[in-house]
Copies of this chain bind each other. A is one copy, B any other.
Amino acid sequence: MLKLYYSPGSCALASHITLEEAGTAYTAERVDFKNSQQTSPEYLAINPKGRVPALVTDFGILTETPAILAFIAQSMPRSKLAPLDDPFAFAQVQAFNSYLCSTVHVAHAHKMRGSRWASDESSFADMKRKVTQTMGTSFALIERDMLRGPWVMGETYTICDPYLYTLSGWLEGDGVDLATLPKVADHRKRMSERAAVRKVLTDEQS
């Protein structure tokens, strides 16, 4: 059975929702970031990067959200969570998720995780001040050019949707006004009405 390691409020939410959407049997185990469990020897043996998500499968352990999402879609094709028979459409899904992980998530991380890339308190404060701008610019591009609507890829729900929903959930805290992003706001509302999303949010907050 699949086992997901997650932390509430992290990008692991995308994988958690996708497992639920796929209708597969899985367990989810919370990693206690407040007590630095992610850097404990026990957790580093699961994921040497000391991050979530990590997905334990019958074949081994997977990390990195885009890889986990595509794995769920490909190994459970009946869930129809990605266009598996069309390499170009599948690549568009991957391009979107790659943009979220390498640009959008990274922009957000500069608010609280500046020590990954700098050493001085003044740099951390400088980075933090810029997050509203960088997240706003990233999401303006998503709003204008990438989110087709009603779902990211158009009429069909895919593994792009829970990932976008996860990262758009950070906008308010990052100082970006959702009213300037009507398609993203509509997408958030639509996602929040899905049974899988409601269940996972309840489970993560319990």
Residues of A bordering B, CB below 8 Å: 48-49, 57, 59-60, 62-68, 70-71, 74-75, 87-88, 90-92, 94-95, 98-99, 101-103, 105-107, 110, 116-120, 122-123, 126-127, 129-130, 134, 141, 144-145
Given A71-B87, A107-B117, A110-B117: A92 and B127 within 8 A (CB)? no
A123 with B127: CB separation less than 8 A: yes
Question: In the complex, which of the residues B64, B71, B123 contacts A88, with contact meaning CB atoms closer than 8 Å?
Answer: B71
Chain B residues with CB under 8 Å of A75's CB are: 87-88
Given contacts A66-B94, A106-B106, 20 further A-B contacts (CB under 8 A): A49-B99, A49-B141, A62-B91, A64-B94, A67-B91, A67-B94, A70-B91, A71-B90, A71-B91, A74-B87, A102-B105, A116-B134, A117-B130, A118-B127, A118-B130, A120-B122, A120-B126, A122-B123, A123-B126, A123-B127
Bound complex: CA A67 to CA B103 (Å) = 14
Minimal beta-carbon separation of A68 from chain B (angstroms): 7
Minimal beta-carbon separation of A71 from chain B (angstroms): 4
> Majority SS of interface residues in chain A?
helix
Chain B residues with CB under 8 Å of A122's CB are: 120, 122-123, 126
A106 with B102: CB separation less than 8 A: yes
Query: When A and B form their complex, which 3 residue pairs have the shortest distance between CB atoms, in order from nearest?
Result: A71-B91, A67-B95, A64-B98
Chain B residues with CB under 8 Å of A145's CB are: 48
Minimal beta-carbon separation of A52 from chain B (angstroms): 14
Bound complex: CA A67 to CA B66 (Å) = 10
Chain B residues with CB under 8 Å of A120's CB are: 122-123, 126
Bound complex: CA A154 to CA B119 (Å) = 37
Bound complex: CA A127 to CA B57 (Å) = 37
Most chain-B Cβ atoms within 10 A of its Cβ — which of A88, A98, A116, A134? Answer: A98
Chain B residues with CB under 8 Å of A134's CB are: 116-117
Minimal beta-carbon separation of A24 from chain B (angstroms): 13
